[in-house]
Amino acid sequence: MPQPNVKDLIVAGPLADVSIAYRNKSYIADRVFPIIDRVSPRAKIARYLKGAWFRNEAGIRGAGSRAPRGGYPVDLISLSTKEYAFAKEVTDEDRRFATVQGAPPLRPDQDALEFCADKIDLSKEVRTASIILAGTWSGVAGEDAAGLWAAGAGNTFLADVRARVETIRANTGMKPNRLIIDHGTYNSLKEESTVLDKIKYTERGVLTKELLAAILELEEVLIGEAIYSTAKETKAGTEFTAANVWEKNAGKGSAFLYYAPATPGLKTPSAGYQARVAYEDGSPRRSTTWRESAEHQDVYEVAEETDILQTGADLGFLWYDTLLT
């Protein structure tokens, strides 16, 4: 054996340009409902009740007589924003030792801010999904799809969606323009022959969100990919029990068809809205830091004050158990 053996003399140490971190790559909460920015924490949204607007009441006015008259009732939907926040400390020791030779490639201050921001994003994703999955839409708390959206014989996906487009249109005069489906359902639909038959003459014949939206005559299809862990923290720090954010029943799939405008406005219906309160500098999210001298550490906090609410129950329709019954 040649002397010295250089490989055996190498001292193991962390790589300076590689590290591993798991976190969601996709959040859709801010794209689900239109965002109303810079609202009062106790603001109200005026809602014209639909009945009066759909009655056929115009009539012939004879000479010297008065035209038929009527009115339209208006009610108010109350907002109640709450601040969601998360904080992470960075010790002087962590900051100092992160720069020594052989230290792992950690950036304690940047990592802390990113960690806190991700906690706020995940919280909003879970809350938005909960509003939808636990809500009553178009008079029902969801329809059991009986696993019939999974690829295979007897698939009812296209028929179900088209039927509920008509349900929403017949109840509101508005055609739904968006669909949210969980990741598992989307993957199964990529193999469904009745769907693939609609795109077999496209360039690649591979189902995408954009092609699915075109098939259904919708403006957008959103895929709910985010997961979270239901496990409680332990000392070991390795606990993890995955759950899909966008499923009503674990592992069985869900979908939500609804109408929402691109932006909020006057006399603009929407299945839901997200209201955000602005901070002192006008931004919708606040990042702050403060010193805890006795502990020799700084604390970073990220916060956002929001309310996510249903504003048009008749403008949405929910399916559950789309993959399994």
Picking from 35, 28, 1, the residue whose alpha carbon sits closest to that of residue 311 is 35
Query: What average pLDDT does the chain have?
Result: 95
**What pairing do the DSSP bridges indicate for beta strands 254-258 and 35-36?**
unpaired
- Alpha-carbon distance values, 84 to 116, 171, 258, 279, 307 (Å): 11, 35, 27, 13, 10
CB 83 within 8 A of CB 104: no
Q: Cα–Cα distance between 253 and 244 in angstroms, integer? A: 9
Q: What was the pLDDT predicted at 205? A: 80
Q: Is 13 helix (H, G, I), strand (E, B) or coil?
A: coil
The yes-or-no verdict on residue 30 having pLDDT over 90 is yes
The yes-or-no verdict on residue 160 having pLDDT over 60 is yes
CB 233 within 8 A of CB 160: no
201 — pLDDT class (breaks 50, 70, 90): confident
204 — pLDDT class (breaks 50, 70, 90): confident
The yes-or-no verdict on residue 217 having pLDDT over 80 is yes
Burial class (CB within 10 angstroms; exposed 0-12, middle 13-18, buried 19+) of 64: exposed
> What string of DSSP letters covers 153-208?
TT--HHHHHHHHHHHHHHHHS----EEEEEHHHHHHHTT-HHHHGGGTTSSS----
Q: Cα–Cα distance between 313 and 131 in angstroms, integer? A: 11
Q: What was the pLDDT predicted at 2? A: 64
* One-letter amino acid for residue 214 of the chain: A
Instruction: Identify the helix (H) or strand (E) that includes residue 292.
Output: strand 285-292
- Alpha-carbon distance values, 64 to 58, 60, 69, 142 (Å): 17, 12, 15, 54
Q: What was the pLDDT predicted at 1? A: 53
256 — pLDDT class (breaks 50, 70, 90): very high
Domains of the chain by range and CATH?
28-38+84-320 (3.90.1690.10)
Show Cβ contacts of residue 217 under 8 Å, excluding neighbours closer than 6 positions: 165, 175
Burial class (CB within 10 angstroms; exposed 0-12, middle 13-18, buried 19+) of 126: middle
Token pair belonging to 71: 């009115």
Show Cβ contacts of residue 209 under 8 Å, excluding neighbours closer than 6 positions: 186, 220, 221, 222, 223
* One-letter amino acid for residue 132 of the chain: I
246 — pLDDT class (breaks 50, 70, 90): very high
Q: Residues 136-163: what's their mean pLDDT?
A: 97
Q: Cα–Cα distance between 38 and 15 in angstroms, integer? A: 45
Q: Is 25 helix (H, G, I), strand (E, B) or coil?
A: coil
182 — pLDDT class (breaks 50, 70, 90): very high
Burial class (CB within 10 angstroms; exposed 0-12, middle 13-18, buried 19+) of 317: buried
